[in-house]
Chain A
Amino acid sequence: MSTTRRQFLSTALAGGAAAALTPRRANGATKSLTVVHESSFIKGFDDFFVKTLAPEYEKATGVKVGYEPVSVGSMLTRLTTIVETKSGPEIVATGLNWPHLFDQSLLDVSDIAAEIGKKIGPWHDNIFDAVVVNKKWKALPWGNIGQLEVYRTDWFKEVGVTKFPDTWEDLLTVGRMLKKKGHPFGFEIGHGFGDNHGWMYPLLWSYGGREVDKDGKTVLIDSSETAKAVDFCRKFYQETMIEDVLGWTDVSNNKAFFGEQISCTNNAMSILIVGKRDFPEIAKVTDHGLNPQGPKGRFHLYNPQSHAIASHASDPAAAKAFLRWLYDDKQLSRWLVAGEAYYAPFLHGYDNHQMWNADPRYLPFKESLKTSRLHGWPGPAGAALSESNAKYVLVDMFAKACRGDATKDVIATAAAQLKQIYKAK
């Protein structure tokens, strides 16, 4: 018996060693590429890539293009593992300020960006902050996932409001009335990944507050403007919302909206899109409004969705060729239509694109691009910004004020955190 066991072991070891030592097949021309994306809320957008674009490209070039979707909110983690292990998909999707964060692991795509800008541009000015690092384009944006006010037109009409309020103070007044009628507001103030910052940065900016200056060294959060924004937020929360929003993550406001628990929230277009598909009666009475103005203007937050080429790509030329083809109007235009205007392109050539005509309720997302800024604006879009977001500095400043902490205390805490993060004095 023991001989048999040992024979088995020696055979297994010999087999394993032989397999490990077998030489790899030499690489020829690139036969396949993989693109990794966050799974889209718009099923047709993913489907169009897989069922139409990828087969068309394969037919034209012989290169098979794989599509790896990752769950919503997980793309940053996936991207981290790809660049840290230098393996996996060659073409990666980026959002927010990630081209800055992953700068050293992404290839320069300035040449393609220039071509796209020439053909269907020019590019919107404010996109450069997000994707141009040290004068090099590190990613090619295909569209913005905007965050706007989403509200119930029927309930707003019940209190005599037929047009979405233009200022935060007006929205507060409407919110008070609606809460009394059992239709509170629900703006996320918890640790989600988008719907919290989506309205908090614009609120701060519209009152004149800033986290940090352009130099990335001067922390500006401790100001009377910030104090005004914090005081407003506390009032806004206490007089228009439910307590639960303090613990909400990104799914919570969608759930509450479809549960007919709230009359207004800040969200991407996903509520309307999902409503049209699964809750048509609610979708009929759902509309979008621009973020209200504050004393210092109107702002929105942008989240540019882009494609980048990972530096570990074995054939960068093949990856570039595919992106050049994908961003040609013939492909990009159809893909954006399949995306049902969920992604607002940063290209002026698409200002009057047919995708905007499908539903007038899409138009505020186009309009919002003009006043959109990146998280942490006007500070630099580097690693410190990511750390500040990951630590929820701004979110928790507002959240603590909402639960009753003093304005000066919450600002002091945020200022101390930002000084540590930005290594400021």
Chain B
Amino acid sequence: MPLLEALLAGAAQGLFYGLLAAGFSLTFGVARTFNLAHGELVVLGAYAGLWLNASLGAGPLAAAAVAGPLVALWAWPARALLSRATPPYELKALTLTFGLSLLLQNLMLLFFSANYRFLRWDAGEAGGRLLGAPVGAARLTAAAAGAVLLVALHLFLQRTRPGRALRASCQDARAAALMGIPVGRMQVLGLALGGGLAGVAGPLLAGLQYITPTAGVPLTVVALTLTIAGGVGRTDGLALAGLLFGLTEALVVALAGPAWREAWLFGMLLLLLQGRRTGLLRGRRAP
């Protein structure tokens, strides 16, 4: 049953996409700009994971646990850069992250070369069967890590005081400041969480596909598309959008061939942009 196999893989990939989008949308929430360097942060995390894998034999989960905090450190330079954007802020900040993406790509080219790299570990060769269809261990790991992190992020944002303060700062920074919320610290927290989630995704991705310095661009587009579809800071909406996205992607690839995957991806982006800021689950509850 190749179609079932493709759909299972698509669902797993979808959860991983949800993880990509969660970091991207958190960054958007606090920085008020799409971070076009998000994919490069993921790739940076992937290279950290590949290095840990090669030198210490770390598996993707252990590598992700180290890469996440490392990439989260981007919050400080990012905040310094974005605070220097001149009006019109949204457009300048977007261009700034575009420049940052180009800079990171070329720095990685300089340091890591354009060679294709892949994270190998013993358990990765194994795999299980789900509903009778084979599923690779790397894909299961990425999907499980994505699901766990999405749930954890959801609980953090909805149930804890810092999480609520973070959401308040995203909604209306001035009002949040008047309520005594340290908005500046919340912005750093949001950027660090966004970068950290990108860093965690890196080593997981390195077990799924080959990594090159320019592998980040399609990841950014996926995260961007999902954020427009799922709504900003809406972990549930992002997870749902990620699943739908992974499943339809698998269908497109299975039925029309891998050559049309990108057309479908950018077509979705263009289509969803037509409705601008609306999300799948909008309106019921504030982000």
A and B interact physically: no
Give B residues with C-beta under 8 Å from A.
none
